[in-house]
Structure 1
Amino acid sequence: MKLNNSMKIIVNDSLQNISERAVNNTTRQYLPSALPFTIAGPFGRVDSEIATLSLLTLNHSVLNINSQAVIQVTGLMSLHLCYLLRGKGALINGMVNFNEEQVAYNFWPNAHYRITVGEGRYIFLLLEVKSELYPLLSGEYSFLQDSGKYRPRLSISDTVHQAIHQVLNIQESGELGRINLEAAANRLFFLTLKEVNRHAGRSEKIVPDTYADSDNALSDIAVFINDHLEEKLTIEMVARKFNLSRSKLLETFKSTFGQPLHEYIVFRRMEKAKALLQQGLSLSEICGVVGYPDKSNFVRAFRKASGITPALYRKRFFMNRSG
C-alpha cells in the first residue's frame, strides 16, 4: 500500500498504482490536508488518503476486496509501520499471519513486503519515515541495529490504539489540522518504536521467504537507481553495472518488485518529481534532477503516469494543503 505513493495492488499479476489511477473519492477524509485517491477493479475497491508531513508520510486505506488480492508495499530507502485496524487472515510474505489490531514493522532500508488478503473489508494505516532519520533512530533503538529480521508483527497496545485514534480524529482543518496531525503522527510513531524495542529481545527471528531473498539480492540495484535518477539509466547500463545478463536482470527484477525495470525507473522519477513539485521547485530544476533534459518530454511522461500535468498536480497539492 503506500505510502509515498508506493502502494501497489497486484491481482492476478496485474499491477495498479494508486497514483496512476487517481480520482477524487467521496468517502470520509480522516487525515487533514491529505490527497484522496480511489481505484476499483474486479478485485474490489480501495479508498486511500495520503498525507506528507515533515518526518512521516501517512496512508489511511480502506479496502473492500471481492477476491484474493496481494498488496505489495515498497518503500525505497524508507522504514515502515503498518497497522491493520480491521480485517483478519492477512498474510505477510506468505508466511506470517497478520490479524486485526496488530502492527507489522519493517525496519530495513529498501523495505519490500507483500500482504495477501482474502475477500472482506480491511482498514490499514501505514507510516513511512524518511530514510535519512534511520542512523539517528538506530542509535536510540537497539533493535534497529540488528541486521536479522525480527518477527514483523506486534499486537496493538491500548496506548498505541489511543494514539491511532488521535491521528484519525483530528477535528481542525487547514494548516491548524496539519500541525495537529503532525504532532499526533509523531507521537504514534515513537510510541510504537518504544514498544517494538521493548519486545524485540523476545521476538523470534524469521527466515525470509523467496520473495525477501530476491529483495536482498536486488536491493543494491534499487538503491543505485534511486541515487542516479538524473542520469540516462538504461537496462543495459544497469545489467553491466551489476554483472547480470539483460534477461536475468529483467526476470528477477520484475518478480521482486512487481513491475518491469523500465517502468520502475519511470515510477521512481515521477515520485521524486512529485516531492519536488510539493517543495516548490521550478519545472526546469525538476527536469534536471529526475533525468529529463527536455521539459516537454517530462511533462508528457508525468501526465502519462499521473493523469494530470505537473502544474495541475502542484496546484491541487497546495489547494488540499490549505484546506
Structure 2
Amino acid sequence: MKIPSIEPLLPIGPVGTINGFNNTEVRTVPVLLQEYEKCRISEAAPMTIQGEFGTVVRQVIAYDIIIVWYYIVNLERDYLLRLQVESDTFYLNLTLEGRTTLFYATQRLPIQVGRFHLLRVPAGSHDSLWEKGSYRMLQVQIRQDIVAALFPEKKFKGRWPIPIMEKVPTRFADVSVGIPVGATFQVNRILSNEQEGMKARILKESAAKEMMLLCFDLLHDYALTTKAVSRSQLERFEEVAVYIGNHLDIDITVPHLCEKFHISRTRLYDGFQRMYGESVHEYIISQRIEKAKLLLQEDKAVSQVAMMVGFNKTSSFIRAFKQKTGTTPAAFKLQ
C-alpha cells in the first residue's frame, strides 16, 4: 500500500471556528523534533505538525496490505481534528494513552487507553472535537478486501459500499475492546527502534500483522458473545477487563472489583461468563498466564515472573501455568 498524499489526522481549528486556521499558524516539518526523538520508530517516515493548538507527531510505515501509523497528540486546548482519507478504508485503532469521546455526525466513538476498535472510514473529511490532553494511538490501515475476507458477516452498522446518507465512520459490532496481552507485546515490537534496515521492516511487518489477527479474532468472538449485553453493561465489563489487564502484578479480588466498579458479584460473574466464556476469577488467571508467557520469552527467571504476574508463591504459579498450558514455565522457556 502507498502512503496517502494527504495527512490523515490534521488539526483544523478551535471550537466554534468555521474555516479553521491560516497555514501561517501551522509549522509542518518532515522530522521528529528533539523532544520526541526518544519516541522514534526505526524505518518509519516522521512528520511533526505544530501550532497554537499544540503538537501532532506521526510516524508511518507502508507494507503490502497494511499501513502502520503511530500518533502522539498533545493538545493545549479543546480542538477540532480532521480525519481525512482518499478512499473508503479501515483502521484498527489501539489507544495507548488518553481518554475522550469523539462524535462523527451522529456516531459516538469513545477513545480510552487500553482499548481498541476497528473503524470503517468512508472517503472524505470527518471532523471531531478532541478534549485538551495527551493521546497516543497506533493505527493499522487495512485494505478493504482483507477486512471483507476476514469478516464476511459484515458486522458494521449500515451497508457496504456506503450510501451517501451513511458517510460517517462506524465501528465493527459497535464495540471497543480491551487490548489483549499478546497484542500489547506486538505493539512493543512495532514501536521498538532496536533494529534498523530491512530486518527492522520485516520484524515490524510481522508484528503488525500478528497484532491485527489477534485483535480480529477477539472482535469476532465479541460479536458472537455480546448480543444479549447492553452497551452500558458492555462498557462497564470492558472497564473491568482493562483494569485487570493493567494490574496483573497485584492481588485482584472479586470483592475489590465489585466495590471499585459498583457492580454486584452475580452480575460480574454473569457478565464475564457471557462475554469471555469464563468466570472473572478464571479470566484473571488466564490474563496472568498470557502475560507470563511474554515475560518468559524475555528470559526472566520463573520466580521473578511469578511475582510480576501476581503470584505470591512460585509453586502456585507453576501449578496454574501447567493447568492452562499443559507444560511448566521452565519447559515453555526452552521451546
Hey, what does 1:309 align to over in structure 2?
A: none
TM-score using structure 1 length: 0.54
- Compute the displacement of 1:102 (Å): 1.2
Secondary structure of the residue aligned to 1:24 is coil
Q: Note if 1:66 corresponds to 2:76.
A: yes
Hey, what does 1:55 align to over in structure 2?
A: 65
Q: d(CA) in 2 for partners of 1:115 and 1:187? A: 30
The number of aligned residues is 202
- Compute the displacement of 1:162 (Å): 2.0
CA deviation string 1:183-205 (max 9, x = no partner): 01111111111111111232679
- Read off the aligned partner of 1:106 and give its amino acid letter: L
Q: 1:127 aligns with which of 121, 128, 140?
A: 140
Q: d(CA) in 2 for partners of 1:163 and 1:176? A: 16
- Compute the displacement of 1:126 (Å): 0.9
Hey, what does 1:137 align to over in structure 2?
A: 150
Deviates more, 1:4-13 or 1:164-173: 4-13
Q: d(CA) in 1 for partners of 2:230 and 2:89? A: 21
Q: d(CA) in 2 for partners of 1:146 and 1:198? A: 20
- Compute the displacement of 1:116 (Å): 3.1
Contact 1:40–1:46 under 8 Å retained in 2: yes
Q: 2:108 aligns with which of 69, 75, 95?
A: 95
Q: 1:38 aligns with which of 35, 38, 48?
A: 48
Q: How does 1:136-285 map to 2 (within 5 A)?
A: 136-139=149-152, 143=155, 147=159, 150-201=173-224, 202=226
Q: Note if 1:82 corresponds to 2:114.
A: no
Q: CA separation of 1:125/1:182 partners in 2, compared to 1, >3 Å: closer, same or farther?
A: same
CA deviation string 1:98-155 (max 9, x = no partner): 211111321366487555321111111111012342432334x663698496324222
Q: CA separation of 1:83/1:168 partners in 2, compared to 1, >3 Å: closer, same or farther?
A: same
Unaligned stretches of 5+ residues in structure 1: 207-323
Q: d(CA) in 2 for partners of 1:186 and 1:30? A: 20
Secondary structure of the residue aligned to 1:47 is strand
- Compute the displacement of 1:169 (Å): 2.0
CA deviation string 1:234-257 (max 9, x = no partner): xxxxxxxxxxxxxxxxxxxxxxxx
Hey, what does 1:6 align to over in structure 2?
A: 8
TM-score using structure 2 length: 0.52
- Compute the displacement of 1:156 (Å): 1.5
CA deviation string 1:1-41 (max 9, x = no partner): xx743222232342799xx9333123235432111100111
Q: d(CA) in 2 for partners of 1:9 and 1:65? A: 10
Hey, what does 1:288 align to over in structure 2?
A: none
Q: Once superposed, what is the RMSD of the aligned Cα atoms?
A: 3.2
- Read off the aligned partner of 1:81 and give its amino acid letter: L
Contact 2:42–2:192 under 8 Å retained in 1: no
Q: 2:31 aligns with which of 16, 24, 27?
A: 24
Contact 1:46–1:62 under 8 Å retained in 2: yes
Q: d(CA) in 2 for partners of 1:184 and 1:77? A: 25
CA deviation string 1:165-187 (max 9, x = no partner): 22212521111111111101111
Q: CA separation of 1:161/1:114 partners in 2, compared to 1, >3 Å: closer, same or farther?
A: farther
Contact 2:157–2:174 under 8 Å retained in 1: no
Q: d(CA) in 2 for partners of 1:197 and 1:44? A: 37
Q: CA separation of 1:72/1:103 partners in 2, compared to 1, >3 Å: closer, same or farther?
A: farther
Contact 1:8–1:16 under 8 Å retained in 2: no
Q: d(CA) in 1 for partners of 2:63 and 2:22? A: 25
- Read off the aligned partner of 1:64 and give its amino acid letter: N
Q: d(CA) in 1 for partners of 2:8 and 2:179? A: 24
- Read off the aligned partner of 2:206 and give its amino acid letter: A
- Read off the aligned partner of 2:12 and give its amino acid letter: I
- Read off the aligned partner of 2:70 and give its amino acid letter: H
Q: d(CA) in 2 for partners of 1:159 and 1:120? A: 28
Secondary structure of the residue aligned to 2:155 is helix
Q: d(CA) in 1 for partners of 2:135 and 2:22? A: 18
